């Protein structure tokens, strides 16, 4: 679907953005792939990456807070991936206004600009932190999700449609426990919040592939959730540093014992598919699109969490998933 089309990705210099760009350039022959971000250093580093040398690649300096800049960037763009966000949980508590400006107001700007530009499809990235949020970062992402879903009603019959993709921890992403454990392994002591804490794990490539699949399937208004495996923090520690001692420090502010991707409150609106779930919106624009998607309804009390209704990784599977960190 991206052959001879123009795609813009906000936050395109991040880990997801770079892998998404590389995957699109390998799988398709797009007219343009536009990296929209505010970090000139990361853009210059991407330009120098031999794996990304392609005449279709463009770089556009800008902030999602700047609506006028987005209007310029989205001219003649067919598809948009919104991956730009402020994400550090502690930083959000100290700088709430900054997170609101980027994560909430920025989402509104993306909707306005893509609608004016006549973009065909927009997919926004969400997070498990947006489900029953206990910190400001999660609250801003919940607001962002609502903005993008409601945008379908706002857009009317313009032809622009919006959907959201929500998933859990990306293996090895910045701030995750995996590179921390790898570093601490050298000292022989791992700092563990709670060994029984569970987490969803998805690789960067799986996240990119799921976004591409969602672009193909979306009719506008869905919130896509992939079926991904889980494990405990103790499992991760045991695989990465089996001989290390544990220093249990307790859960940090804003953390949850188990991650939730679909809460019970949304169960009545959830459709289950072979490899993912779709949370249907409650707005009237959705109509009777269930038949278009297919899928199976979930029971009233259903929830999808890292300790319920999920597949747990055994030691061998987890070792395979973390293989690059076990060298």
Rounded distance between C-alpha atoms, residue 239 and residue 323, angstroms: 10
132 conformational bin, left if phi > 0, alpha if psi -120 to 50, beta if neither: left
Q: Collect all residues with Cβ–Cβ distance below 8 Å to 105 and sequence separation of at least 6.
A: 65
Q: Give the HSE-up count for residue 98: Cα atoms under 13 Å, Cβ half-sphere.
A: 11
H runs (alpha helix) in the chain = 15-27, 40-48, 67-73, 89-94, 96-99, 106-117, 136-155, 177-184, 204-217, 233-240, 290-293, 315-321
**SS3 at position 251:** coil
129 is an active site residue: yes
Q: What percent of the residues of the chain are helix, what percent strand, and what percent coil, each to the nearest 5?
A: 40, 20, 35
H runs (alpha helix) in 156-271 = 177-184, 204-217, 233-240
- Options 129, 185, 227, 256, the catalytic residue: 129
Active site (catalytic) residues = 129
């Amino acid at each position: 679907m991206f052959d001879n089309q123009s795609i813009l990705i906000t936050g395109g210099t991040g880990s997801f953005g770079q892998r998404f760009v590389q995957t699109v350039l390998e799988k398709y022959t797009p007219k343009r792939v536009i990296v929209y971000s505010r970090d000139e250093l990361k853009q210059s580093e991407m330009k120098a990456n031999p794996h990304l040398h392609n005449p279709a690649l463009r770089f556009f300096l800008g902030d999602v807070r700047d609506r006028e800049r987005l209007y310029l960037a989205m001219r003649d763009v067919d598809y948009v991936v919104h991956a730009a966000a402020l994400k550090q949980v502690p930083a959000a508590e100290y700088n709430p206004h900054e997170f609101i400006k980027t994560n909430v107001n920025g989402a509104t700007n993306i909707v306005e600009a893509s609608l004016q530009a006549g973009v065909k499809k927009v997919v926004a990235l969400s997070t498990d932190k947006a489900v029953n949020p206990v910190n400001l970062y999660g609250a801003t992402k919940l607001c962002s999700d609502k903005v993008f879903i409601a945008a379908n009603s706002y857009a009317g019959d313009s032809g622009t449609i919006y959907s959201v993709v929500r998933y859990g921890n990306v293996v090895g992403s910045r701030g995750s426990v995996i590179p921390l454990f790898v570093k601490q392994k050298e000292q022989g002591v791992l700092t563990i919040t709670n060994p029984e804490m569970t987490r969803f794990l998805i690789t960067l490539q799986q996240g990119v592939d799921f976004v591409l699949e969602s672009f193909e399937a979306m009719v506008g208004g869905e919130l896509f959730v992939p079926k991904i495996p889980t494990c405990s923090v103790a499992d991760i520690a045991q695989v990465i540093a089996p001989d290390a001692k544990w220093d249990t420090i307790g859960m940090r502010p804003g953390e949850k014992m188990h991650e939730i991707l679909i809460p019970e409150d949304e169960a009545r609106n959830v459709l289950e598919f072979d490899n993912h779930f779709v949370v249907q919106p409650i707005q009237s624009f959705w109509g009777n699109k269930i038949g278009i998607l297919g899928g199976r309804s979930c029971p009233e009390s259903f929830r999808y969490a890292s300790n319920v209704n999920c597949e747990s990784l055994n030691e061998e599977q987890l070792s395979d998933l973390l293989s690059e960190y076990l060298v």
